[in-house]
A and B are shown apart, each in its own frame.
Chain A
C-alpha cells in the first residue's frame, strides 16, 4: 500500500518584516507579507526524501489558515508535494494551539495518513508543541525534533530518527502511523524548479470548512480559545549605547566598561 504522508505547513508573516499585533491582539496579517514558515520547508524536504526512498508514496500538504495561506501550499506543491488541503473558515480567526491542533487532527484523519511530518516550530507563534499535541490527539507515537529521519518498510513499517537534546543525542524508533517533527539541522530544503512551479498550478487543493470536519464554531477562534491575551506592548527600544572605534585600545576600553558594570 502506498505510504501516505501528510505535511503540516503554516503560513506566517515574514520575520524580516515589521511584525505586530492587530487591535484584537491577534497577529496582524495585513501589513506584513506572508509566506510558508521557513522551518516547514524542512518538513516538506524530508517528506520528499522519504517519498523518494519509498516504493510508492503520496504527499499531502495541509494548512489551517486564511485565504492567503494558499501561497504556502503552492510553494510546498512547487517543491514537489502531490496535493494540498486547506482548512479555511472565518470562525478560525484567533484560534489558539488547542483549537488549531483539533482542526489539524481532524483534517489529518479525514485525509488518511501513515506519517505526519511537521516543522520544529512556527516562526511566528514559536511554541514548538503542536507536533506533540497532534500525537496525543491522534493517539500515535511522537517522534519529534529530529535532525535525521528515515522510514523503513513502507506504510506498515517504522520511522527512525536522531533527536539532539539538551543533555544527550537519542536514537528513536516507532511503528507507523506516527507524528514526526524535523529541525533545521535535517538538511537544506530544495528550491522549487521552474517545472515544479508550473506543475504546482495543476495540482489539486481541497478546501475544507469546519462543518466538513464536524467541528463547532465555538470550539475554535478567539471565543473558543483556552488562552486569552490581555495586552501586547512594543518593547521599548534599547537606549542607545556607547560605540567606540578601535584605535588600538578597543579591548581595553571594553574591559573598562565591563569593570565599571561590575562584570570583572
Chain B
C-alpha cells in the first residue's frame, strides 16, 4: 500500500496531539510512515505506533537544535527520498509550515497550508481550507509533484489504530545551507500547567474589557474550573496584560476548540480569524451590539466582573 510521510512534532520525545490527529488523516490516504527528529526522537515510537505509524524513521544530531529549520528540511528530504511517499503531511506550526514549504521547493511540489480536513480523491488528496477569517471554506488539490500539506491542530480526532511502528535510523547528510542560521540561545517558555492553547478542548479568553493584568486572574480561575487554556485578544496583549503566546487571532494562535468563551472581547475580524471555527461559542460582553454576539451559541450581556466570578462559582458548586 502507498505510504504517507508524517512529520512528527514532539518535545523531547513526547508527541504533541496535532501529530496524532495527522496520523488519523494520513490513514485515509495510505500507510503512515512517521519522521521524528532531534532529542528523544526514538521515544516517540510507542505513541506513533499506537496511532497507526507502520514505520518510524528517526534521526538525532546537534544540528537540529543548533540551527534554524534547514537541518530538519534536509532530514525530511532524506526521508522523502527513502520512502517515495504519495503525500507529505506536516503539522501547521510556524516551524512546520516553513519546513514543509522548503521541502516542497526542493522536490518541485505544490504546497497547501493550514488544511482543516483531508480526504482521499481520484486526483490525489483533497484539502479543506478556511479562507478570509473562516468566512469561506475551500477545497484544493496539489497538481504538481507529491502533495505537501500542512494541517491545523484540532482538524481530526485522535484514533487508536495499533501498527508496527518499527523504528529505523534515518541517514541524513546536511546541506551547506543547514548551518546558515545559528540558534545562539534558547529560553524555553515556562509551563503554566494549563493545556496548550491550540490543542485545548476549551479556551477561555479575555480582552480589553478585562481592564488590567491583575484582573486576568478572574479569567484564569474560570479556565481552571473547566480545565481550559487561557487566550487573550491583541488589545489585551498589546496593553501588556497577558503574554503574546496566548494571543488568539490572525497574528496569534488559531484555535478550534469544542468550547470558546470570549470575555470583554468585541469580536474584530482579526480576532474572529483565530476562533470562528470553534464548535460552541459563548460570550460575555456589556455591549449588546458587540459583533461577537453574531457568532455565539450563548451570550450574556453584562459586566464580566459580575458574570464571570458567578459562573466560576456555579461551576465549582455543580462539580461538587
Contacts and interface: CB of A to CB of B under 8 A. Distances in A.
A251 B310 contact: yes
Interface in B132-189: 132-145, 177, 180-189
Interface in B176-208: 177, 180-189, 202
Chain B interface size, as a band, is 35 or more
A182 to B, nearest CB: 11
Contacts, number: 258
B189 A169 contact: yes
Interface majority SS (helix, strand, loop, mixed), chain B: mixed
Contacts of A19: 132, 135
Interface in B79-117: 93-95, 97-98, 100-102, 104-106, 109-114
Interface in B283-316: 284, 288, 293-303, 306-315
B136 A233 contact: yes
A259 interface: yes
B311 A251 contact: yes
Contacts of A258: 226, 259, 282, 315
Nearest to A160: B184
Contacts of B100: 129
Chain A interface size, as a band, is 35 or more
Interface stretch (B44-52, B55-63, B243-251): B243-251
B301 A143 contact: no
A174 B110 contact: no
Contacts of B299: 241-244
Nearest to B303: A246
A184 B247 CA distance: 12
Interface stretch (A49-57, A106-114, A119-127): A119-127
A252 B315 CA distance: 9
A250 interface: yes
Interface in A2-32: 15-16, 19-21, 25
A19 B105 CA distance: 29
Contact of B143 (A21, A25, A97, A226): A226
Contacts of B105: 98, 101, 133, 136-137
A159 B293 CA distance: 45
A139 B143 CA distance: 25
A156 to B, nearest CB: 16
Contacts of A250: 284, 300-302, 306-307, 310-311
B306 A185 contact: no
Contact of B94 (A128, A226, A232, A235): A128
Best-surrounded residue of A39, A248, A252 (most CB of chain B within 10 A): A252
Best-surrounded residue of B101, B250, B313 (most CB of chain A within 10 A): B101
Please name the 5 residue pairs, one residue from A and one from B, whose CB atoms are nearest each other, closest first.
A251-B310, A246-B302, A226-B110, A141-B180, A226-B144
24 contacts: A15-B132, A39-B251, A98-B111, A121-B251, A123-B250, A140-B180, A142-B70, A169-B187, A170-B68, A170-B183, A170-B185, A171-B183, A174-B182, A227-B140, A229-B138, A232-B138, A233-B136, A235-B135, A235-B276, A246-B302, A251-B306, A251-B313, A255-B311, A261-B259
